[in-house]
Amino acid sequence: MAAGDPAAPGAAAALDALCRAYWYPVYAYVRRCGQSAIEAEDLTQSFFLHLLTSKALATATPHRGRFRVFLRACVDHFIVTCWRREHAVKRGGRVSILSWERDGSEPRYQADALSPLTPEALFDRTWADTLLNRVLNQLEAELVAEGKTSLFDRLKDRLIGDPDAASYAELADTLGTTEAALKMTVRRLRLRYRELLLREIAHTVSSREEADQELQHLLAVVSA
């Protein structure tokens, strides 16, 4: 909502964060819809330019439902009504509008392309990955601020459920603590991770109930 109101405090920063965070879910979605890598980058770039220059985000109010669903609907509408016309005007020379780093989008998509997911399911999966990574980065920043960088580095695989993560006994020995104390620390960090994740999701829905539902949906998408 802040990104949709140019007069709101922090509107520019909100829009920048929004576009940086969700560039790849949009890119992956349009790639899976059948666009080439070059066309998908042009379309994604044009879509976010559309968000920058139109009032589309001003209609993203909580009562209209989950922002994840809203944004995907905006992409669909943009493809049908706007991009083909704009793309025809720009054809013959690619236009660089946005300066964000996007070099990793296509290699990342090539890995995702191995899955049989529909465009909609891939959008949800990459959206979920984006949220989880954003929250993991927030948790890392908190621990770094507390001088616990090494602790985060050793425990982050445990937080995301990596099946190859070292055993608690091995980690405890490495960190110079007891297995019981380490399990308590991991439990505390997992609770904080969930708290931060719910807070992040709350920015994209209208109620705590919807946030809980969205969390369950996204976790199911990631684990599928």
pLDDT tens digits, one per residue of 69-107 = 888 998 998 888 876 666 655 544 444 445 555 567 888
Distance in angstroms (rounded) separating the CA atoms of residues 205 and 76: 20
Distance in angstroms (rounded) separating the CA atoms of residues 47 and 124: 18
Compute the Cα dihedral for 127, 210, 80, 78 and give only its sign.
Answer: negative
pLDDT tens digits, one per residue of 165-205 = 678 888 888 888 999 999 999 999 999 999 999 998 888 88
Write the CB contacts of 75 (distance below 8 Å, at least 6 apart in sequence). 26, 29, 30, 47
